[in-house]
Amino acid sequence: MTAARSGARPGNGVTAGGDVGRGWFPLDAERHRRDAPRYCPGCAAALSLTDGGDGLVCEYWAGPDRVFVCFCGACGWSGDIVLAARVLGHEAAE
């Protein structure tokens, strides 16, 4: 999923702030802006402050996966949204 998304056009309708292009890792900052969840899965309110929302999206990396820790200020929903590189099932019981 990550690979497919990373081919998307930069910006992709998402407002880019002044941080894009600065720092040592501008590409990651740009991807973060593009890929971070914009709406609450619970109530569909905007999460991003730039979109008028009141939530928080904080990204961390777990191996090849990108995890977005989310909180919605409108309904209180909280959870992690994962851009998973692979989906693995469990191993069959012996």
Instruction: Decide whether 25 or 93 has the Cβ nearer to other proteins.
Output: 25
Q: Which of 16, 47, 53 is nearest to 31 (CA)?
A: 16
Return the range that interacts with other proteins (CB under 8 A); candidates 4-12, 26-34, 37-45, 85-93.
26-34
Return the range that interacts with other proteins (CB under 8 A); candidates 2-10, 37-45, 68-76, 85-93.
68-76
Query: CB of 72 within 8 A of CB of 56?
Result: no
Query: CB of 58 within 8 A of CB of 69?
Result: yes
Does position 11 bind other proteins by CB under 8 A? no
CA–CA distance, 64 with 77 (Å, rounded to integer): 26
Report the interface residues with other proteins, using CB under 8 A. Answer: 17-19, 22-26, 28-29, 32-33, 36, 48-50, 54-63, 69, 71, 73, 76, 78
